């Protein structure tokens, strides 16, 4: 059990951890909820030794349906740690491909795909 919980702690700081996406279709309206694993460091916080923790945060994010850009977002360090966003997309049907991507202040990126069920 200890091994398992350590694995969980590692996964939480791993930048490559995929986003968690939940897409709920009601008619042709799709509720998209996404959780991105990211520290969202403001650059204003100090650690226990008093040293400033450098800024490190997601700056750009996109939501696409079947390759078409639907939401193009720019965000700041004031978005909470492990950001959670909800969006609503019209004209979506089962089987459509949902792609969500982000790019952070260090040039790190992540992309996750999901099929609308």
Q: Which helix (H) or strand (E) holds 20?
A: strand 20-26
Task: For residue 102, give the nearest of 11, 31, 19, 14 by alpha carbon.
Answer: 19
Could you say whether residue 49 binds other proteins (CB under 8 A)?
no
| CB of 2 or CB of 46, closer to other proteins | 46
Compute the C-alpha angle 111/112/117, nearest 5°: 155
| CB of 5 or CB of 80, closer to other proteins | 80
Smallest gap from Cβ 1 to other proteins, in A, equals 29
Helix (H, G, I), strand (E, B) or coil at 52: strand
Smallest gap from Cβ 15 to other proteins, in A, equals 17
Kind of pairing between the strands at 97-104 and 29-35: unpaired
Q: Please, which of residues 78-107 interact with other proteins by CB under 8 A?
A: 78-81, 83-91, 101, 103
Among 9, 74, 94, 117, indicate the residue that binds other proteins (CB under 8 A): 74
Kind of pairing between the strands at 84-89 and 97-104: unpaired
Chain residues in the site for other proteins (CB under 8 A): 29, 42, 44-46, 59-63, 65, 68-81, 83-91, 101, 103
């Amino acid at each position: 059990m200890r091994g398992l919980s350590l694995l969980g702690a590692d996964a939480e700081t791993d930048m490559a951890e995929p986003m968690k996406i939940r897409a709920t279709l009601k008619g042709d309206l799709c509720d998209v909820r996404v959780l991105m694993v990211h520290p969202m460091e403001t650059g204003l916080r100090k650690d226990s030794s008093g040293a400033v923790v450098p800024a490190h945060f997601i700056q750009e994010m996109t939501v696409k349906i079947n390759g078409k850009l639907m939401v193009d977002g720019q965000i700041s360090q004031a978005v909470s740690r492990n950001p959670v966003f909800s969006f609503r997309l019209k004209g979506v049907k089962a089987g459509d491909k949902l792609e969500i991507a982000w790019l952070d202040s260090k040039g790190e990126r992540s992309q996750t795909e999901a099929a609308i069920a």
